[in-house]
Amino acid sequence: MGLPAFRLWKRAWPLLLLFMMAAEGGCRRGPWTLWNAYSSRFIDPQGRVMDPQKGDRTTSEGQSYALFFALVDNDRARFDKVLSWTQTNLADGDLGVRLPAWLWGRDKDGAWKVLDINPASDADVWLAYTLVEAGRLWNQPAYTQTGRQMMALIAATEVADLPGFGPMLLPAPTGFAHQGSWTLNPSYLPLFIFQRLAAFDPAGPWQKIAAGIPVLLDQSSRKGFAMDWVNYIPGGGFYPAPANADKDAEPPTGSYDAIRVYMWAVMLDETGKTRGQILNALPSMSVYLANHDAPPEKVSDLGIPSGNDGSVGFSAAVLPYLKASSGNERAIAHQMVRMSDQKDSATGMYGRDLTYYDQNLVLFATGFLDGRFRFGPGGELKVDWTR
């Protein structure tokens, strides 16, 4: 072992030992300090999640993630505040009647309001999932009812029947169905969510969507890397797509959206065969990290990684993915050292700029690895506080 490698292991082995012990689960965890720090910095007293790097705007994605983390932490008071703000400001007061607008913030005249009324389906399915699971775990039928109503709205407005393929979740009700093609986002499709929604609504499209997700990921990945956006063409399958149809849009990539795909894949229950199918479609991030210190910020539509490293949230997001296979100990150590180096001792959060998105990725990854939550064989949420 050379000197640089020895120094890495000298720094990493205590972190790696703690990581492996935490990932075994079992005992009840202490306070979720990162969630508490995140809540203090990014959630206002009303329950609105703010993104300081983007003018304190609020997205339905941020609200949906906060609702999920509050449930995982058994934080009923914050859950109700986040839900109330979301319902009042993004859904005209009733999520059971209207899906939430995806963007809220300050307009050009300085007024705070909905800036884009189009819903975002990833937030919608996370909200519906979290509500039905909150109803079950907290024995609150009102949450379950709202979640079921959201499922009906999603099925009616955000699901398209792709010719030759079957039903699939569109990113939003409008803007993603074109003449002869459909644009999709693989990171909007955590399989465990659709497994659980299928149990609540067997007559809905959820089981067929769940069955199609591994096929979509296999066909749309490039040289084993996930892509941010993909187009479906009947008879041709799935291909990488730019983020939007503008002629000046960036070319297709795998980047800030796609990094979640690796994380969602390994959060599936290990007893089913689907987890292995998805991991087999996404082998290249593991191969890349065997010889690089951090995940790439971007991967081209030809499957070629860029020279720039992704943010610290990328390192967190790939940790569960790396742990799912043997032989990744060195790569795991690199990511843990990188996270340790970029942890702010004053706040307990991560990154040079403490960005909202990085903290969300770290919350998902470390919450899962610490055993604070798991997803069962049918996608059901298993939380530490019920043990």
293-323, pLDDT tens digit by residue? 999 999 999 999 998 999 999 999 999 999 9
Average pLDDT estimate for 232-254: 86
Q: Give the pLDDT band (50/70/90) at residue 8.
A: low
Containing 108, the helix (H) or strand (E) segment is none
Q: What is the mean pLDDT of residues 189-197?
A: 98
16 pLDDT tier (thresholds 50, 70, 90): low
CA distances from residue 281 to 29, 90, 113, 231, 365 in whole angstroms, order as listed: 34, 36, 41, 18, 20
**pLDDT at residue 365 greater than cutoff 80:** yes
Query: What is the arithmetic mean of pLDDT over 111-138?
Result: 98
pLDDT of residue 243: 81
CATH architecture of 1-30+159-382: Alpha/alpha barrel (1.50)
Q: What is the share, in percent, of the chain residues with pLDDT greater than 70?
A: 91
76 pLDDT exceeds 60?
A: yes
Say whether 61 is catalytic: yes
Predicted pLDDT of residue 21: 41
Which of these is catalytic: 73, 122, 133, 384? Answer: 122
- Read off φ and ψ for residue 221, nearest 5 degrees: -70, 155
Select 33-157's CATH number: 3.40.50.300, 3.40.920.10, 3.30.830.10, 1.50.10.10.
1.50.10.10
What percentage of the chain exceeds 90 in pLDDT? 88
Question: What DSSP designation does 376 have?
Answer: -
CA distance 205 to 73: 30
Least confident of 54-68, 129-143, 239-253, 325-339: 239-253
Residue 155 to residue 26: CA distance in whole angstroms: 37
Task: Give CA–CA dist 96/99, Å, rounded.
Answer: 7
- Which amino acid is present at 211? A
Evaluate if residue 1 carries a pLDDT over 50.
Answer: no
Mean pLDDT for the stretch of residues 268-295: 95
- Which ranges in the chain are annotated with CATH 1.50.10.10? 1-30+159-382, 33-157
Could you tell me the pLDDT band of residue 244, with boundaries at 50, 70 and 90? confident
Whole-model pTM?
0.93
Instruction: List the single range of 14-18, 53-57, 116-120, 348-352 with lowest mean pLDDT.
Output: 14-18
Predicted pLDDT at 344: 96
Instruction: State the angle between helix axes of 259-266 and 274-281 in degrees (0 to 180), rounded to the nearest 10.
Output: 150
* Cα dist from 294 to 178, 320, 373, whole Å: 37, 14, 26
Amino acid letter, 247:
K
* Helices 76-90 and 60-72, axial angle in degrees (round to 10): 160
Mean pLDDT of the chain: 93
Contact in structure between 221 and 261 (CB atoms under 8 Å): no
Strands 182-184 and 103-106: unpaired
**How far, rounded to the nearest angstrom, does the alpha carbon of residue 24 sit from its chain's CA centroid?**
22
Average pLDDT over residues 271-286: 94
Residue pLDDT, tens place only, 151-182: 999 999 999 999 999 999 999 999 999 999 99
* SS3 assignment for 40-78: HHHECCCCCECEHHHCCEEEHHHHHHHHHHHHHCCCHHH
The more confidently predicted of residues 131 and 244 is 131
Instruction: Give the model's pLDDT for residue 273.
Output: 87
Q: Could you tell me how far CA 276 lies from the centroid of its own chain?
A: 19
* β-strand partners of 177: 182
Question: What's the rounded Cα separation, in Å, for the pair 176 and 167?
Answer: 14
pLDDT band of residue 70 (cuts 50, 70, 90) is: very high
Instruction: Label residue 21 left, alpha or beta by phi (over 0 means left) and psi (-120 to 50 means alpha).
Output: alpha
Beta bridge partners of residue 233, listed in sequence order: 237
The predicted-structure confidence for 197-238, as pLDDT tens digits, reads as follows 999 999 999 999 999 999 999 999 999 999 999 999 999 999
From the CA atom positions of the chain, what is the Rg in Å? 20
Instruction: Say yes or no to pLDDT of 5 above 70.
Output: no
Choosing from 61, 73, 297, 370, the catalytic residue is 61
For residues 327-335, give the mean pLDDT: 96
pLDDT of res. 300: 97
C-alpha distance from residue 153 to each of 98, 100, 104, 124, 289 (Å) = 8, 11, 21, 9, 41
Instruction: Name, in order, each residue with C-beta under 8 angstroms of 2's C-beta and a sequence gap of 6 or more.
Output: none
Is 122 known to be catalytic?
Answer: yes
CA dist 121 → 117, 219, 364 (Å): 12, 22, 19
